Amino acid sequence: MDITHVVKSFLPNEEVISYKPIGNGHINSTYKVITDKNQYSLQEINTNIFSNVNGLMSNIDKVTDHIKKKAYSRGEDPHRATLNFLPNATTGEMYVIADNHAYRMYEFIDDVFTIETMENPTNFYQAGLGFGGFAKELSDFDAGQLVETIVNFHNTSSRYRDFKKAIEFNYNNRLADIKNEVAFVKARKDFMSLFVNKLENGDLPLRVTHNDTKINNILFDKKTGAPAAVIDLDTVMPGSYLYDFGDAIRSGATHAAEDERDLSIVDFDLELYEQFAKGYLEACGDYLTPMEIKMLPYASIMLTLECGMRFLTDHLNGDTYFKVHRENHNLDRARTQFKLVDEMEKHIDDMSAIINKYVK
Ligand code: ADP
Ligand code: GN1
Ligand code: MG
Beta-bridged to residue 88, according to DSSP, are none
Please state, in angstroms and rounded to a whole number, the distance separating the CA atoms of residues 191 and 325.
32
Span 137-148, mean pLDDT? 96
Pocket test for ligand 2, best of 30, 152, 212 (most atoms within 8 A of CB): 212
The string of pLDDT tens digits covering residues 307-318 is: 999 999 999 999
The string of pLDDT tens digits covering residues 294-309 is: 999 999 999 999 999 9
Please state, in angstroms and rounded to a whole number, the distance separating the CA atoms of residues 253 and 247.
10
Alpha carbon 42 to its chain's center: 19
- Look at ligand 2, atom 5, and give the residue with the nearest C-alpha: 25
Diameter of the chain measured on Cα atoms: 59
Span 225-253, mean pLDDT? 98
Ligand 2 center from residue 211 Cα (angstroms): 9
The C-alpha torsion from 165 through 168 and 169 to 175, rounded to 10°, is 110
> Which letter does DSSP use for residue 85 in this model?
B
Q: Which ligand is closest to the CA of 83, given by its number?
A: 1
Judged against a pLDDT cut of 90, whether residue 99 lies above it is answered with no
Long-range contacts of 264-271 (CB under 8 A, 24+ apart): 266/336, 266/339, 266/340, 266/343, 267/343, 268/340, 268/343, 268/344, 268/347, 270/347, 270/350, 270/351, 270/354, 271/121
Say yes or no: CB of residue 25 within 6 Å of ligand 2: yes
Say yes or no: CB of residue 33 within 6 Å of ligand 1: no
Q: What angle do the packed helices 329-346 and 179-186 form, to 10 degrees?
A: 40
Ligand 1 center from residue 125 Cα (angstroms): 20
Sign of the C-alpha dihedral computed for residues 101, 104, 109 and 110 taken in this order: positive
Q: Which amino acid does the sequence have at 196?
A: V
Environment of ion ligand 3 (residues, CB < 5 A): 25, 217, 232
Say yes or no: CB of residue 95 within 6 Å of ligand 1: no
% pLDDT > 90, the chain? 98
Judged against a pLDDT cut of 90, whether residue 342 lies above it is answered with yes
Judged against a pLDDT cut of 90, whether residue 354 lies above it is answered with yes
Measured CA to CA in angstroms, residue 252 lies from 59, 120, 245, 281 at distances of: 27, 10, 11, 16
Pocket test for ligand 2, best of 236, 251, 322, 337 (most atoms within 8 A of CB): 322
Please state, in angstroms and rounded to a whole number, the distance separating the CA atoms of residues 282 and 150.
30
The pLDDT score that the predictor gives to residue 157 is: 98
Phi, psi (degrees; rounded to nearest 5) at 137: -55, -40
Q: By CB neighbour count within 10 A (0-12 exposed, 13-18 middle, 19+ buried), where does 187 fall?
A: exposed
Please say whether the beta carbons of 57 and 146 come within 8 A. Answer: no
Say yes or no: CB of residue 241 within 6 Å of ligand 1: no
pLDDT grade for 348, boundaries at 50, 70 and 90: very high
Does pTM surpass 0.85? yes
The string of pLDDT tens digits covering residues 100-114 is: 899 999 999 999 999
Average pLDDT score over the chain: 97
Span 62-71, mean pLDDT? 98
The pLDDT score that the predictor gives to residue 119 is: 85
Span 236-264, mean pLDDT? 98
Judged against a pLDDT cut of 80, whether residue 137 lies above it is answered with yes
Ligand 2 center from residue 275 Cα (angstroms): 23
